[in-house]
Amino acid sequence: MDGPVLDAKPKERITARIALLLALLIGFALRLLHLGAESLWYDETVSIHLARQPIPAMIAHTAGDIHPPGYYLLLHLWQQLTAPTLLHGLEYIYALPSVIAGMVVLALLYAIGRRLFNPKVA
């Protein structure tokens, strides 16, 4: 009689993980849906301009700034990976690292909530 009760926990975990994965995928798709709907804002164009600089120039420019060069370095590397798409006018591709980071943060928050409290709270 204890068999079904003991098997319920792993099934609940699998169901919770599938639900989390589906929620993250739906959220990711919704973010992508309107990613290029608006034109770039001023601060985004400044970030893109800095990311297009050679790395030493980028670091020199941000040395006196309140923002460390980490984000611009990440954007620079992302630009190197996605250069062919940028040639076709797909500037919104610059927003994709932020979308991905947001999804990772949501998954981490779920894991933290689950660990600190319980799966229902998470």
Domain limits, the chain: 2-116
Q: What's the rounded mean pLDDT across residues 7-25?
A: 82
pTM of the model: 0.73
- H-run or E-run covering 101: helix 96-116
**Environment class of 51 (CB within 10 Å of its CB; exposed 0-12, middle 13-18, buried 19+):** buried
Q: What's the rounded mean pLDDT across residues 81-97?
A: 78
- Summarised one tens digit per residue, pLDDT across range 46-58 is 998 999 899 999 9
Question: According to the model, what pLDDT value does residue 89 have?
Answer: 67
Residue 68 has pLDDT above 80, yes or no: yes
